[in-house]
Amino acid sequence: MWEWEWGGKLSMTGSVKRETVVLTDISDAEDYEINDRSDISSDSDDSFDSVDDDDQDVNIVVGKDKSTQWCTEAPRRRCNVQNLLREKEGVHEVVPTHSASATFTFFLTDEIMDLSVQATNEKGAAIYAEEWKVVDCVELMAWIGLHLRSGVDKDAFKPVDELFSTKTGPPIYRASVSRDRFKQIKRCIRFDEMSTRAVRKSGEQGKLATIYEVWHKFIEACQVNYKAGSCVTADESLVSFRGRCSFKVYMPSKPNKYGIKIWCIVDATNAYLLNAQIYSGKGPDGPERQQASRVVRDLTTIIANSGRNVTCDSFFTDFSLALELLNKNITLMGTLRKNKREIPHHFKHHGIPKGNQQCLASAKIIIL
């Protein structure tokens, strides 16, 4: 169980096993005014040289890298400017919340629909020629809605013929579109211009050229329509998919072992998507080095200088990354693997009885 107390303190109950926990907390912030926090102490410690007299004899230990210094107790300090959220969180005031369909159009925008309709009609004309019936936004929205409905009802893997059956299928499918038309649109659905796809694949868009523009417009809509709270979470997500895809991955630890991996940053309170990147596989030069740190840096650009906290697991947490985010007024909390060179041998090998805790602190980072 974790408790976050005002003033930058972190307390933990339970045993410390494979991993330790790192919390970044800036110590050299400039003074600032607080109007509604009168209970915060005015004593500010800018470094560990300014601790109380009773703490002058605290031991100093050095990390395995022979340069990172830690003291055995964290200093008492007030909440710093990096931990204050200065933006109004929640749904944007222009987003309609009285209707689900009206809210949905703020995410699947007119730009996305127009681009999808144009690309789908282009592909349909190429396949069916004069037999192709032009699809419009209303019909395509109904087609997308049926897919969402099948996901809600857990019918995504049922055959189309069964969904449109007069005996076993829900009436909403037959009322929205005919079975043959549904299959026809499914065959022709596209999200980009085919004539320029080869050029875009060879450039920056790469393997994501077929959905690049639509994907980025959707992410932009997610960022505009909602502002996150004080805490966000960075992690990876596997979207189940077993079709043909050049960047499909296999992750045996996931419930759905095959799919498309997406790096995400979400609001910690409600899992609202704030930013995301699709993993498109290895580059031409092989596996990417320091990929986890790069992903977190890219995903947190939208919350730079906002005073928010990012929580992640041991795959992303890194000592240098925590310091880099601090320069952008972002704090980081996550599990830190024991093989990190900044952790001292004293902390790794010192036995900790069950139910107790051990703390090490540097000028900007606290480890429990």
What was the pLDDT predicted at 80?
59
Average pLDDT rounded to a whole number, residues 128-144: 94
Amino acid at 105: T
Confidence at residue 91, expressed as pLDDT on a 0 to 100 scale = 85
b/e 212-224 (16+ beta carbons within 10 angstroms → b) = bbbbeebbebbee
d(CA 208, CA 196): 13
pLDDT for the residue numbered 271: 92
pLDDT at 190 over 90: yes
Residue 145 confidence class, pLDDT cut points 50, 70, 90: very high
- Residue bearing the bigger pLDDT, 139 or 16: 139
pLDDT digits (tens, 9 = 90+) for 84-129: 776 778 888 777 777 888 888 889 999 999 999 999 999 999 999 9
- Confidence (pLDDT) at 71: 77
- In this prediction, residues 184-208 reach a mean pLDDT of 91
Q: Examine the pLDDT at 366 and tell me if it is beyond 60.
A: yes
- The type of residue at 173 is Y
pLDDT number for residue 76: 64
CB within 8 A of 63, min separation 6: which ones?
Answer: 69, 70, 341, 342, 343, 344
**What pLDDT score does 187 carry?**
95
* Averaged pLDDT for residues 265-289: 88
Predicted pLDDT at 78: 58
d(CA 315, CA 328): 21
Side-chain-side CA neighbours of 31 within 13 Å: the count stands at 6
The answer to whether the CB of 69 falls within 8 A of the CB of 36 is no
**Bridge-partner residues for 263, per DSSP?**
236, 277
Residue 266: its pLDDT value, please?
A: 95
* More confident position, 262 or 92: 262
For residue range 51-62, what is the model confidence (pLDDT) as tens digits? 344 444 557 777
Q: Give the pTM.
A: 0.77
pLDDT in tens, 307-319: 899 999 999 998 8
pLDDT of residue 50: 39
Least confident of 83-92, 152-161, 180-189: 83-92
Nearest to 365 by CA among 340, 337, 327, 332: 332
Asked whether the predicted pLDDT for residue 182 surpasses 80, the reply is yes
Query: Can you tell me the mean pLDDT for 260-276?
Result: 94
Q: How many CA atoms lie within 13 A of 45 on its CB side?
A: 18
How many CB atoms are closer than 10 A to CB 59? 10
In this prediction, residues 178-199 reach a mean pLDDT of 93
C-beta atoms surrounding 114 within 10 Å: 11
The whole-chain average pLDDT of the chain stands at: 79
Q: For the residues 191-197, what does the mean pLDDT come to?
A: 91
Burial class (CB in 10 A: 0-12, 13-18, 19+), 130: exposed
Which of 11-20, 221-230, 336-345 is predicted least confidently?
A: 11-20
- Per-residue pLDDT of 18-72, as tens digits, reads 444 444 443 443 333 333 333 333 343 443 343 344 444 557 777 787 777 777 7
Q: Residue 93: how many CA atoms within 13 Å on its side-chain side? A: 1
Per-residue CA distances from 267 to 273, 275, 309, 335 (Å): 7, 10, 10, 19
- Decide which of 184 and 82 is more confident: 184
Residues 322-350 have pLDDT tens digits of 889 988 989 999 888 878 888 777 666 55
C-alpha angle 216-218-224 in degrees, rounded to nearest 5: 100
User: Which residue type occupies 206?
Assistant: G
